[in-house]
Structure 1
Amino acid sequence: MLSKTMEKALNEQVNAELYSSYLYLSMSAYFQNLNLSGFASWMKAQAQEELFHAMKFYNYVYERGGKVVLQAIAAPPTEWESPLAAFEAALAHEQKVTGLINDLVNLAIEEKDHATNNFLQWFVSEQVEEEDSVGEVVNKIKLIGQASGGLFMLDRDLAQRTFTMPQDNEKK
């Protein structure tokens, strides 16, 4: 059984993950408007992944006897100064989410909620991958600089990313 404090914190994380999905979908639309369909596709896959994360939290709350209370999702930005600025914003957002996950782990430890701490370890590892993935694109865009040919090559490469539902034993 979840404590009321943990239940509230996990509900806030559901909202944060839904916002992340919304943010990346907004970034996808931004890139689509720039005719960078590969960048748009990459962000759309990221949006799907964040929705999957939200559902993992959603399902976990119910598995532990809690109640999910959905909250309003804040409107994300819709414009960025450049593709680099958009990906830098994505990296900053992932770093913020890492902090949120770490706060949840700290709360689970404080409450001696070993089951939730165990559940959250998947997200701890996932955030390392998230920051690395976005950071890699930031670095590539910086390497390209003002070379439009490089941007179009990167656009083609980013189009290869697709979201595949992870197959884990947790059914989340």
Structure 2
Amino acid sequence: MLNQKLVSAINDQIQYEIYSALTYKAMQAYFEAEDLPGMANWMDVQFQEEMAHAEKMFQFVCETGGRVQLQQIDAPRNEYASPLEAFEVSLEHEQSVTARINNLMDLAQQEKDHAAQIFLQWFITEQIEEEASVNLIIAKLKRVKEDGRGLMMIDQELASRTFTPIAAAE
């Protein structure tokens, strides 16, 4: 059974994962308005991933005898000066998620909750991928600077991203 400290901390993270999803949905709206459908698609896939992360945590709390308590979600930011700024904000956000997941792992270790540690390891690995993916896009955007053709090429590349649901065994 999950102890109350971990239940409370994971409940906070569920809220943050939903906030993350809304952040990416707002970024999708920004890119749609900027006529960058590939970047909008990338953000929509990110939205779906964040919702899947929230659901995975929700199920873990329920399966380990805890009670999920949903909380108020703040409104996300809706405007950006450029595609580069939107992705830089995305990276900052992912870095904050990484720090939060690491703090959850620290708590699970302090509480000697081995099941929670195993569960959280998946998220730690996921965050490495999340940050690397956004870093690569930022590097490409910086490389093309104001070149519209380069921006269109990146946009086309990002259009190919698809959502892959989390496997039940993960």
Is the shorter-chain TM-score for this pair beyond 0.5, marking a shared fold? yes
Detail structure 1 runs of 4+ shifted over 4 Å in the superposition: none
Q: Could you give the per-residue CA deviations for residues 51-101 of structure 1, whole angstroms, max 9, x where no partner exists?
A: 000000000000100000000111000001110000000000000000000
Residue 88, structure 1, aligned to residue 88, structure 2: yes
1:121-152 Cα shifts (integer Å, max 9, x gaps)? 00000000000011110111000111011001
Q: Which residue of 2 aligns with 1:42?
A: 42
In 1, Cα distance between equivalents of 2:142 and 2:23: 22
Gaps of 5+ in 2: none
Percent identity for Structure 1 against Structure 2: 49
Cα distance, 1:168 vs structure 2: 3.8
Pairwise mapping of residues 75-154 of structure 1 onto structure 2 (< 5 A)? 75-154=75-154
Q: Which residue identity lines up with residue 98 of structure 2 in the other structure?
A: T
Distance 1:71 1:92 in 2: 23
Give the residue type in structure 2 aligned to 1:134: V
CA displacement at 1:3 relative to structure 2: 1.1
- How far apart, CA to CA, are the structure 2 residues paired with 1:166 and 1:123? 11
* TM-score, length-scaled by structure 1: 0.97
Cα separation, 1, equivalents of 2:19 and 2:101: 15
Given the two structures, how large is their TM-score scaled by the length of structure 2?
0.98
Count matched residues. 170
2:17 is matched with which residue?
17
Structure 1: runs of 5+ lacking an equivalent: none
What CA RMSD, in Å, does the superposition of the two structures yield over aligned residues?
A: 0.7
Q: CA deviation at 1:20?
A: 0.5
Q: Give the structure 2 partner of residue 164 of structure 1.
A: 164
CA distance in 1, matches of 2:44, 2:73: 18
Distance 2:162 2:43 in 1: 10
1:142-169: CA deviation from partner (whole Å, max 9, x where unpaired): 0011101100111111000010113241
In 1, Cα distance between the equivalents of 2:79 and 2:166? Answer: 31
